[in-house]
Structures are given as C-alpha cells and as structure tokens.
Amino acid sequence: MIKRTSPSVPRHRPLPIAPSVLKELQVADDAGRPVVPFTAHEDGVPLACVGSPLRCCLRSIEAGDRVALVSYAPLRRWAAATGADPGAYDEQGPVFVHAEAGVCAGPDAAAAGYPFARPGALRTVRRYNAEGQIVGGRYFEIPEDAQRGFDDVLDEAFADPEVALVHVRALEYGCFQFEVRRP
C-alpha cells in the first residue's frame, strides 16, 4: 500500500537539470552548438513565451529573463553517470534554461506539487531500466488534482521493479519536462 503524504508534498521528487550540467549547457548544448541567449518578452518574441518551462529550476519563464533554448540529452547524461548504454533510446531535444551563470537559484523549495502541472495538459511518462532502455510508458492527461494524478502515475511506473527512472514529456512536442528516479 502506498503511504499518502500531505497534499502539498509530492511522493516523488521531480529533478531539474543539475547545476553542473546547466553550467555546461550555458556554453554549448548537447548537440555541440554554442548557446544563443535572449531576453523573454510578453509577446513571445524572439523565441519563448512568458510561461514556458525552465528545466534548470522547474519554474516558468518570466518577462525579462535571460534564457536560451538548448538541445538537451537527459538519458545520455544519466547513462554517462551510471554506466548505462541507452543505444538507440538516446535522444536530445529542446529545453529552455537560464542563459547566464549564477542566475538560476534552482527549484523553489517552497513550491508545492509537481512542476508544469496544468490540468488538461497531455504528457507521456516514459519508463527506463538500469541499462537505459525504454521498458514502458503511457499517455497521461493531467487531472484537476494534478498532484494526486502525478503521484498515481509515478507509483504505477515504479511498481515495476525494472524501472530505474522516468521521464515526463509534453505529448504535443515531446519536450522533456522533468525526470524522476527510483526512490
């Protein structure tokens, strides 16, 4: 039986891009391209709309933030740290991060719930084993009680003892949202 925690504390910890990785991505992304910073505007010009997710601190972009859209390979980086070989499952995709060193303070410790948990948003929950291979996944529509929905879908994923980590991605574009590792 799964133990319930308080409504404001998720049962699983969403992980942002690590500070050491952020430092690397602020120079060159995982596709080897140099970073091109820009200032976010209310109207979305030049690239990001205010409200788009920052993966380095798991909060939304605010007007005036200096950000960069970079290519990020989360499974590749996890595999390098663990010795796994994801083979063809290695993928990279675009994410927004703070563009300048020393600006990102990381996730807000006082923030409750899961990041980017807008009810009705569509997500995929991809499960990976210790070798870095996909061992399952599912479509997930965030319910009104987003925290309980995420708790339940992540409990379901980690009920399989083969699952080492889970990636949550936006369904529409496949954008990486956050990672959760086996507790």
d(CA 50, CA 42): 6
Q: What is the pLDDT along the chain (183 residues), one digit of tens a residue?
A: 344 444 567 899 999 999 999 999 999 999 999 999 998 887 655 555 788 899 999 999 998 899 999 999 999 999 999 999 999 999 999 999 999 999 999 998 888 889 999 999 999 999 999 999 999 999 999 999 999 999 999 999 999 999 999 999 999 888 899 999 998
Residue in the block written with tokens 């005036």: 64
Gap between the Cα atoms of 166 and 124, Å rounded: 10
CA 34 to chain centre: 21
Please, what's the b/e burial string for 23-51 (b: 16 or more CB within 10 A of its CB; e: otherwise)? Answer: eebbeebbeeeebeeeebbeeeeeebeee
The residue among 146, 148, 164 whose CA lies nearest residue 5 is: 148
| Residue 151: its H or E element | helix 146-158
**Strand ranges in 99-133 using DSSP code E only, listed in sequence order:** 122-128
The model's pTM is 0.89
Give the number of other CB atoms < 10 A from CB of residue 88: 7
Parallel, antiparallel, or unpaired: how do β-strands 59-60 and 53-54 relate?
A: antiparallel
**CA torsion angle 174 175 177 178 (round to 10):** 80
